[in-house]
Chain A
Amino acid sequence: GNSVTQMEGPVTLSEEAFLTINCTYTATGYPSLFWYVQYPGEGLQLLLKATKADDKGSNKGFEATYRKETTSFHLEKGSVQVSDSAVYFCALSRDTDKLIFGTGTRLQVFP
């Protein structure tokens, strides 16, 4: 079946460090891929998305490239800030109805 695997957290970084959060997926065909972010005490917000192979989603300095050959959608940011501290969820949508989420990765950024 369809599934998403994320690296376990927490990921702890100093401000201005480079961030990578790994995400791989299993799905038939060509799913759409998403990164959602959840700030403390809030619901999930869409961070970025990619709907076909080799697409790059980007937003707020974050990027992720849809790699069909490695079934991956890793999240990267060149220089993290304290305000980026949150939980990040990778997700896929294969059919028209549902999203399938990974378990989430907590990012903690210290000044």
Chain B
Amino acid sequence: NAGVTQTPKFRVLKTGQSMTLLCAQDMNHEYMYWYRQDPGMGLRLIHYSVGEGTTAKGEVPDGYNVSRLKKQNFLLGLESAAPSQTSVYFCASRRTTGDGREQYFGPGTRLTVT
């Protein structure tokens, strides 16, 4: 099992450009999450999904959109990138029940917006 994978690992964007980050998991997990990690602020939840075809807003959703068309994939889109979106983005997934609600994380995508 590859677990949770993220594509790409690094990206540099200019202000106003768009991009999509891909998260894939092969554990048949129902729940998937997108976080951003900034210095001194821990991880903040952007959007999440409790199943295929569903999405919900987290703590900091503005400027981002998501889609969950397939159970194994969760896409995070930036329509018009801003320097404030420079961050490290992590995807995570978990089962519906069991594991005490443990989330499994991907390796991260480092995004720089200039």
Contacts and interface: CB of A to CB of B under 8 A. Distances in A.
Interface of A: 32, 34, 36, 42-46, 49, 51, 89, 93, 96-99, 101-104
Contacts of A98: 33, 45, 48, 58
Contact of A101 (B42, B102, B108): B42
A75 B40 CA distance: 19
23 contacts: A32-B101, A34-B100, A34-B102, A36-B105, A42-B108, A43-B105, A43-B107, A44-B92, A45-B105, A46-B103, A46-B104, A49-B102, A93-B100, A93-B101, A97-B50, A98-B48, A98-B58, A99-B101, A99-B103, A102-B42, A103-B40, A103-B41, A104-B42
B90 interface: yes
B42 A43 contact: no
Contacts of B33: 98
Given A97-B31, A103-B42, A104-B42, A43 B90 contact: yes
Interface string B45-67: 10010100000101000000000
Given A43-B90, A43-B106, A96 B101 contact: yes
A97 B42 contact: no
Given A96-B101, A98-B45, A101-B42, A44 B31 contact: no
